[in-house]
């Protein structure tokens, strides 16, 4: 049975008479206030509220267990059984503001972590035999909880053995690479005879080093677990409930909200990435255009960070750490290097070295060049938009829509034959800007429908009758193009104004979130400092009535990439809101109508099938999918090194896949931009890096061929009409 809206609204207006009873003196005393406010706000404001019943309770219970022990390293089945007695009662306890289950879980969690530390110390004292064969399953969802402490200890033996052979293999292969490099320098005459060399180590010495580094890492990890506050556990408990509504509804403690505001405000952890907790991991939510991670192109959205290594230290296992503690390890002085061990969406584990730097914000802004491939497509305008930024993010106050308009005007001055708008990996942003930007390519009309809960959708329309570009247009997207990017792509696709080119689909985030200060619920209490609830209140719908939620936007022309066989984006989240549709609205345009998308797709598919690079990409995508599905690994040293060698040999074929320049592709900066680019050496260098990356982009090569097909078919159609 859910709370009644009328009761809630009445109480909210008059304030709760009983709230004075909860004059919060400590964090723990605030918990009933927080729980009550969260559940009430979700009931009244969430786009799709849930019934708070036994089904809800069961799901929340499973979510909470996953958040506290997703890899099944702490709890035994007996302890899970103790907690399972409450599996059907979490809904009742939430309504009664009871924390009987949560209190019991805190005790069991703390005791199980202390036991794990004791087990760890015992195993280290016993010694680890790395030679004996065996395997370990690392996917928590495929594991069962240990039946007893002895079985748990056996699993820890496997975990530590896997960790040790992993570290030892890394140290041995690192020394082998060093020997090879020194030999190459000697043979080429580049070696410095006076250079001081570290002595080579035996395998046993390297094993001791690996064991010492592992021990240091685990001791730091257990120390961090000891500092896990009740408030941290409480936040996980709350989010076990909020995430049942949808993955974007979150409770933020006051400290977490402060950290969120810092991250959104541009202080971006020293590497230019936004992070969030996911179960026991730290997840990369977005890569900030212009930042060190963006430039390196190795760290990606949805990567899970498992360890952090300073340039002069050993890796620290950060699974289970609080986000703010992880951030402190990743942050650092400009010019220093941090090495992140990450688990990719395909399941592979890689080390990503990033040189910390200040985020170069101008790299995130719109910019353009002229592209030519002789005898294919010439004088084509290309505009890159890494994010939808608003006026407050830029010193001169311009929004991204205004900046795109300026780039279009600059390209129009060159009388370009076509334009490319690149929204790949653009995570979205300002709704107003995406409406204004879409309107640059049509006279006027609806762009997107936004539907609040229980009300009719309302339209965001382009009301400017001026058309700023009326020629052939391609919009490039990929699986990380989200939110505002999807709105623009969907609108121009529905209007048949542009050809959308990209991966299987865009991200699929078609919902709108708002922050609600939980203190608002208790109007007669001051400075409670309860935190905030980020809550999904609205949903986006296309002008054709379909949602961008979950399904995203399916491009008119699909080009394979490394994620071709892997589900990414919104559909990869637990409890993601479903796709739905509403009534379409009237829309039309007669500026430049694309009526032959099927033919364009067919011609592109024929080229892609004959392209060796795209064939390699598909082959690599299949390899990555197989790696993702593989979750059981060898732990005997010989078997493990053979496994690593085999995987490295498999990957070797694809190592230089995007290293070659596209044959015939010529890219030129606009003359009008030369003063800005040449203002200082850093801008010159960043522009050079950007151009060089574009010159190797085989997706742009195919888009140039698509533009050639568009112009050719459009000209033929015009000739037929004239006859």
For residues 64 and 240, the answer to whether their CB atoms sit within 8 Å is yes
For residues 421 and 383, the answer to whether their CB atoms sit within 8 Å is yes
Q: Catalytic residue among 494, 519, 697, 709, which?
A: 494
> Nearest 10 degrees: CA dihedral of 436, 437, 441, 443?
0
Residue 395 CB-density burial (10 A; 0-12 exposed, 13-18 middle, 19+ buried): exposed
Axis crossing angle, helix 323-330 with helix 254-264, rounded to the nearest 10: 40
Residue 348 CB-density burial (10 A; 0-12 exposed, 13-18 middle, 19+ buried): middle
Q: How far is CA 437 from each of CA 393, 443, 486, 489, 525, rounded to the nearest angstrom?
A: 17, 12, 13, 11, 44
Furthest CA-CA distance within the chain = 90
Give the span between the Cα atoms of 300 and 267, in whole angstroms: 19
Give the span between the Cα atoms of 594 and 519, in whole angstroms: 52
Taking Cα atoms as reference points, which of 515, 451, 487 lies closest to residue 47? Answer: 451
Q: Which two tokens stand for residue 147?
A: 């039946």
Residues 6+ away with beta carbon under 8 Å from 297: none
Q: Catalytic residue among 483, 485, 505, 547, which?
A: 483
Q: How far is CA 73 from each of CA 65, 119, 215, 490, rounded to the nearest angstrom?
A: 12, 11, 17, 45
Residues 6+ away with beta carbon under 8 Å from 533: 37, 38, 41, 42, 242, 249, 250, 251, 252, 515, 516, 518
Q: Is 519 a catalytic residue?
A: no
Q: Which two tokens stand for residue 563?
A: 């994620």
**3 state DSSP class of 332:** coil
Taking Cα atoms as reference points, which of 284, 274, 320 lies closest to residue 305? Answer: 284
The CA angle 518-519-523, to the nearest 5 degrees, is 130
Q: Is 509 a catalytic residue?
A: yes
Q: Which two tokens stand for residue 682?
A: 């850093």
Taking Cα atoms as reference points, which of 235, 345, 355 lies closest to residue 300? Answer: 345
Residue 508 CB-density burial (10 A; 0-12 exposed, 13-18 middle, 19+ buried): buried
Q: Is 54 a catalytic residue?
A: no
Q: Catalytic residue among 171, 344, 451, 509, which?
A: 509
Residues with catalytic roles: 483, 494, 509
């Amino acid at each position: 049975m859910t709370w009644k809206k009328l009761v809630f609204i009445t109480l909210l207006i008059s304030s709760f008479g009983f709230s004075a009873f909860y004059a919060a003196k400590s964090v723990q005393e605030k918990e009933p206030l927080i729980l009550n406010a969260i559940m009430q706000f979700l009931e009244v404001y969430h786009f799709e509220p849930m019934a708070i019943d036994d089904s809800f309770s069961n799901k929340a219970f499973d979510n909470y267990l996953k958040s506290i022990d997703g890899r099944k390293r702490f709890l035994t089945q007996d302890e899970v059984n103790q907690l399972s007695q409450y599996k059907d009662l979490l809904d009742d306890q939430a309504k009664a503001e009871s924390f009987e289950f949560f209190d019991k879980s805190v005790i069991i969690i703390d005791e199980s972590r202390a036991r794990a530390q004791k087990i760890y110390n015992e195993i280290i004292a016993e010694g680890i035999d790395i030679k004996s064969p065996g395997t370990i399953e690392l996917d928590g969802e495929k594991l069962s909880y240990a039946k007893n402490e002895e079985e748990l200890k056996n699993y820890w033996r496997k975990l530590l053995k896997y960790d040790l052979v992993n570290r030892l293999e890394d140290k041995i292969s690192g020394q082998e690479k060093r020997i090879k490099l020194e030999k190459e320098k000697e043979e080429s005459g580049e070696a410095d005879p006076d250079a001081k060399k570290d002595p080579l180590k035996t395998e046993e010495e390297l094993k001791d080093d690996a064991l010492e580094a592992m021990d240091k890492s685990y001791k730091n990890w257990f120390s961090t677990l000891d500092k896990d506050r009740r408030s941290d556990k409480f936040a996980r408990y709350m989010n076990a409930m909020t995430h049942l509504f949808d993955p974007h509804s979150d409770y933020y403690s006051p400290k977490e909200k402060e950290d969120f505001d810092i991250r959104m405000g541009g202080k971006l952890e020293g590497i230019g990435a936004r992070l969030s907790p996911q179960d026991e991991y730290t997840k990369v939510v977005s890569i900030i255009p212009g930042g060190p991670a963006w430039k390196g192109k190795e760290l990606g959205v949805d990567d899970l960070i498992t360890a952090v290594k300073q340039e002069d230290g050993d890796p620290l296992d950060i699974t289970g750490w609080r986000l703010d503690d992880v951030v402190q390890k990743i942050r650092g002085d400009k010019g220093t290097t941090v090495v992140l061990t990450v688990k990719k969406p395909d399941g592979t584990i890689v080390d990503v070295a990033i040189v910390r730097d200040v985020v170069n914000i101008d790299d995130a802004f719109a910019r353009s060049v002229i592209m030519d491939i002789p005898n294919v497509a010439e004088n084509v305008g290309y505009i890159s938009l890494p994010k939808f930024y608003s006026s407050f993010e830029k010193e001169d106050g311009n929004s991204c829509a205004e900046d795109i308009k300026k780039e279009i005007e600059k390209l129009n001055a060159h009388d370009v034959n076509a334009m490319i708008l690149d929204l790949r990996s653009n995570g979205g942003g300002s709704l107003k800007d995406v409406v204004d930007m879409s309107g640059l390519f049509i006279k006027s009309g609806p762009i997107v429908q936004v539907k609040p809960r229980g009300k009719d959708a309302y339209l965001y329309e382009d009301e400017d009758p001026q058309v700023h570009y009326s020629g052939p247009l391609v919009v490039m997207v990929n699986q990380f193009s989200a939110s505002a990017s999807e709105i623009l792509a969907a609108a121009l696709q529905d209007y048949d104004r542009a050809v959308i080119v990209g991966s299987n689909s865009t991200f699929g985030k078609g919902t709108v979130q708002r922050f609600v200060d939980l203190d608002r619920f208790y109007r007669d209490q001051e400075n409670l400092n309860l935190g905030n609830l980020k809550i999904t209140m609205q949903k986006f719908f296309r002008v054709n009535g379909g949602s961008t939620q979950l399904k995203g936007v399916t491009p008119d022309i699909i080009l394979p990439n490394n994620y071709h066989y892997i589900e990414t984006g919104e559909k990869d989240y637990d409890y993601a809101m479903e796709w739905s549709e509403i009534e379409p609205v009237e829309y039309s345009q007669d500026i430049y109508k694309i009526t032959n998308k099927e033919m364009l797709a067919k011609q592109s598919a024929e080229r892609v099938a004959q392209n060796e690079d795209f064939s390699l990409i598909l082959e690599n995508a299949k390899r990555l999918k197989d790696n993702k599905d593989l979750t059981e690994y060898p732990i005997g040293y010989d078997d493990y090194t053979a496994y690593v060698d085999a995987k490295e040999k498999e990957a070797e074929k694809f190592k230089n896949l995007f290293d070659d320049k596209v044959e015939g592709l010529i890219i030129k900066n606009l003359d009008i931009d030369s003063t800005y680019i040449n203002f200082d050496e850093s801008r010159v260098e960043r522009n050079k890096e950007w151009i060089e990356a574009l010159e190797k982009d085989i997706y742009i090569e195919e888009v140039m061929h698509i533009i050639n097909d568009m112009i050719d078919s459009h000209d033929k159609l015009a000739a037929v009409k004239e006859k």
